[in-house]
Structure 1
């Protein structure tokens, strides 16, 4: 989501938890991605520990084919299905919301009370509104 002029990014906790469960540090994760990419013929992939760190700490998203490679690696290692979406590294669908200053202050204040980033809080509000209308994750339309 974009608020005002700035895109806000939160740490990628889903990816951090999956990598921790796998027991992989950033260097090991990069090594495994690079090995699988070579094996599959993706010779332009060059992951390194600092890049993996940015995916986790800054919520940056790797370019294809890395999201699929990483999901495949974790699926094989942890023996349960992972997708780029579940790991928070899939394609994003941004929404631009224009708020007046009063609305933005209220959103920021409520997010702080809920111990969430402003973006996370806005996502919760949007999902709640869609669920109440019956349009949440079910894919139904009005």
Structure 2
């Protein structure tokens, strides 16, 4: 099992959705799109957040679309940590790593999770800029 999914937790907190509200919205959207086999409950949403479990298709895309609509910025299943993602190696010098570690500690997050969140936020911000 993976660790907590901070990206998903932050997005849901920003949307002001608890686990029950998240499940309700996903189930409603699934029915609207003809996905009769989708039945998410609050316990399942909790496992996605606390244990990093990944929901089965079509849920990741439905949730990303819902959050994109509600929060007004683009979310993808990958940016929410609920779909396979790809690693990127970033070389930091000693001072950059120390600064990253200090910020992660202040946010009470593991360095890796904090770095992933920073990259996701930077990408989301760059995608919302006018061209």
Q: Indicate whether the TM-score tops 0.5.
A: yes
Q: How far apart, CA to CA, are the structure 1 residues paired with 2:10 and 2:110?
A: 19
* Structure 1 stretches lacking a partner, 5+ long: 1-7, 95-113, 125-142
1:42 aligns with 2:35: yes
Q: How far apart, CA to CA, are the structure 1 residues paired with 2:9 and 2:54?
A: 13
Q: In angstroms, what is the RMSD of aligned CA positions?
A: 2.5
Question: TM-score, normalized by length of structure 2?
Answer: 0.66
1:53-92 alignment to 2 at 5 Å?
53-92=46-85
Aligned length: 97
The structure with the largest alpha-carbon Rg is: 1
Q: How far apart, CA to CA, are the structure 2 residues paired with 1:46 and 1:25?
A: 17
Q: Where does residue 16 of structure 1 map in the other structure? A: 9
Question: TM-score, normalized by length of structure 1?
Answer: 0.61
* Structure 2 stretches lacking a partner, 5+ long: 88-103, 117-131
Higher percent of residues as helix: 2
Q: How far apart, CA to CA, are the structure 1 residues paired with 2:16 and 2:86?
A: 30
